[in-house]
Amino acid sequence: MEAISIGMLGLGTVGTGVVTIIENHQDKLMHQVGCPVKLKKILVKDLNKPRAVEVSQELLTTNEDDILNDPDIDVIIEVMGGVEHTKEYVLKALKQKKHVVTANKDLMAVYGTELHTVAAENGCDLFYEASVAGGIPILRSLVDGLASDRITKMMGIVNGTTNFILTKMTKQGAAYQNVLKEAQELGYAESDPTADVEGLDAARKMTILATLGFSMKVDLDDVKVTGITKITEDDLKYAKQLGYTMKLLGIAKREEEKVEVSVQPTLLPETHPLASVNDEYNAVYVFGEAVGETMFYGPGAGSLPTATSIVSDLVGVMKNMRLGVNGKSAVTPQFPKQMKGPEEIFSKYFLRLHVFDEVGVFADITGIFSKHRVSFEKILQMPLKDKELAEIVLVTHHASLKDYEEILIELKDLHAVKEIKSSYRVERGER
């Protein structure tokens, strides 16, 4: 059978991994799809840049049209990153009847629906397993492995940079800025870490997961996002004292036909499986009505793990080519989007306050919670060096987000409260 020709956009860390796997696993790919797989052209910015993998100069080009307009190229692998100009390349490829495999979470979170429509119109596959959680096959598991189930909740550590930072802060008692600097020196964090530490990267991934898992078109703007930049050593110390571990969690939850999607620092019981996911590793916890609880764990980034997902998608495209079913695997969302309001989102909360150490202060605070019918599960009260102040740490029972936000506003206005130091969601782990 004639070789399948591949064009690749980008040859950075992930692209290098793709070249390595395609070159080293030819026998495996040949066995899977029954024909050779050939990289025909790779788009790069600089032809002479030193690279971690040896590539013939004849394969390289700085002109995207050498790939997008080549009628012999069957599949485009997009690993160049970016959104707007990359979208134009992908649209052009699909309209030229070329199948596309991408690792671009930013692109799919923003333009996934539009690109899927164009792919279907042109009988093309558009696969993007590598866009979420690197080497973990989570999207394929949701679309295929759990296709018969009804997913009710997904909870995930989907950003390795923030998990590395929080692991170091927790284990070493180190300050956020010091650990961020270490993460940058080790290459886990970018020189501008905003997308990671403010939760934006995780939010894009949760948009994709929620859309696929709930078969509902969830947009990036629907995700409520809080990053890790304000977490302190004291927060982690008290969390540990109360039996919790702090993680930046993506949470997508469905009840009846309404959903909530958020990314926020969250306290998990130390016994929860996600609590032991450390350093740069990722994990996604999935609850299905039939299957119950499942967890997908593995490397969330890196050249070869991410490239493994890309080449697995490539195999999927090639199998579809042999069967003549390209462009038929995309399923349009089954349900109209219905997002929960604050009065429908329930959770426990961790709250740390600095209060004036006076008679009746605690009664005033409990009065505010009682008015909103919110009770306490755990309470710590500690003296501070400043003799006039005391520190109170609370974990509430379940409360609606609406009630909790109103409580925070009333606490800020209370004379006895000098400062709300921190506030975090607390997850039990069960449905």
Distance, CA of 158 to CA of 223 (rounded, Å): 14
3-state secondary structure of 148: coil
Q: What is the H or E stretch that residue 405 is in?
A: helix 401-413
Residues with Cβ < 8 Å from 354, sequence gap 6 or more? 384, 389, 390, 391, 417, 418, 419, 421
Find, among 353, 356, 391, 397, the residue nearest to 374 by Cα.
Answer: 397
Sign of CA dihedral 271, 267, 411, 360: positive
Distance, CA of 136 to CA of 141 (rounded, Å): 9
Catalytic residue among 87, 105, 205, 348: 205
Distance, CA of 287 to CA of 65 (rounded, Å): 45
Strands 151-157 and 244-255: antiparallel
Report residue 194 as tokens.
């905003």
Identify the burial level of 234 via C-beta atoms within 10 angstroms of its C-beta, where 0-12 means exposed, 13-18 middle and 19 or more buried.
middle
Burial 395-425 (b: 16+ CB within 10 A, else e): bbeebbbebbebbeeebeebebbbeebbbbb
- Known active-site residue 205: yes
- β-partners of residue 157 are 283
Alpha-carbon Rg for the chain in angstroms: 24
Query: Do residues 69 and 96 lie in contact, with contact meaning Cβ atoms separated by under 8 Å?
Result: yes
Residues with Cβ < 8 Å from 47, sequence gap 6 or more? 57, 60, 62
Q: Which amino acid is at 335?
A: F
User: End-to-end distance of the chain based on CA atoms, in angstroms?
Assistant: 50
Q: What residues are labeled active site?
A: 205
